[in-house]
Amino acid sequence: MRKVLVGIKRVIDYNVRVRVRPDGSGVVTDGVKMSINPFDEIALEEALRIRERGAADEVIAASIGPDDAQQQLRTALAMGADRAILVRADGAIPSMIAARALHALVEREQPLFVILGKQAIDDDSGQTGQLLAGLWDRPQATFASKIELEGNSARVTREVDAGLEVIEVDLPAVFTTDLRLNEPRYVKLPDIMKAKKKPLDVTDLAALGVTAAAQLRVVRLDPPAQRQKGVVVKDAAELVAALRQKGLLQ
């Protein structure tokens, strides 16, 4: 069976204003709306479209996080994923640990390819896909804006600083998605009801043989400094004078 493994992450919804806790120990999550990382949602949509074109048989959504992440996996099932896997883990999950957990699932599921977002909007690390490709010793095609499967290979259009780059990689491979790849589908109520009957397996890092010890520790978070109130000037001469007063012009 041709499987596609999709990595998704539970993050604060992109419409929510993120607030840092008073003690700087993290961000406020109590009572805050959580969603699938938008880049991962694009990855899931692409996997579903590939299956609908007949190039894959099964889409598996996988997440590493707390029990509450089952909510996001149920959303993935409602979008159309065939089954879901939650790797239970508490606290912040470093990219390397996430990559090792996904690699353990790869070894178990043997997918045709793995697809996930190019980055998560909470930490913006953008490393998990690349680390997974290294652990798996398979090709990678990152920042994909177009994916075309051709037999045992894939033709991928990548978004790079200079524009677009087209590469070909052998399968199995790891893909990470950019914003322009697609627009995720809207989840309908009947699909949400059907998702409740789809299988969602729960395991943990230890069962996958992954050690949860982190090599990095976040000491403190601080919000960005508040912007100073602007001033209104009457003309260009007054603007130049104000800039010189602030030492921005000589």
Q: Is residue 219 part of a domain?
A: yes
How many angstroms separate the first and last alpha carbons of the chain?
A: 69
pLDDT of residue 146: 95
pLDDT of residue 139: 97
* Polymer length of the chain: 250
Q: Is residue 250 part of a domain?
A: no
Could you tell me which residues come within 8 angstroms of residue 72 by beta carbon, excluding any fewer than 6 positions away? 8, 10, 34, 35, 36, 63
Residue type, 151: G
Please state, in angstroms and rounded to a whole number, the distance separating the CA atoms of residues 168 and 37.
27
pLDDT of residue 61: 97
- CB-CB contact of 6 with 41 (8 Å): no
The CATH number of residue 159's host domain is 3.40.50.620
Supply the range of the domain harboring residue 167: 3-245
Q: Which residues of the chain have pLDDT under 50?
A: none
Q: Is residue 239 part of a domain?
A: yes
pLDDT of residue 225: 83
Give pLDDT tens digits for 99-121.
Answer: 999 999 999 999 999 999 999 99
Backbone angles phi, psi at 67, to 5 degrees: -60, -30
- The total number of structural domains that make up the chain: 1
- C-alpha 103 chain-centroid distance: 16
- CB-CB contact of 49 with 182 (8 Å): yes
Please state, in angstroms and rounded to a whole number, the distance separating the CA atoms of residues 151 and 173.
13
pLDDT of residue 204: 93
pLDDT of residue 109: 95
178 to each of 15, 134, 157, 190, how far by Cα in Å?
Answer: 19, 20, 10, 29
Q: Is residue 229 part of a domain?
A: yes
pLDDT of residue 241: 87
Give pLDDT tens digits for 84-102.
Answer: 999 999 878 889 999 999 9
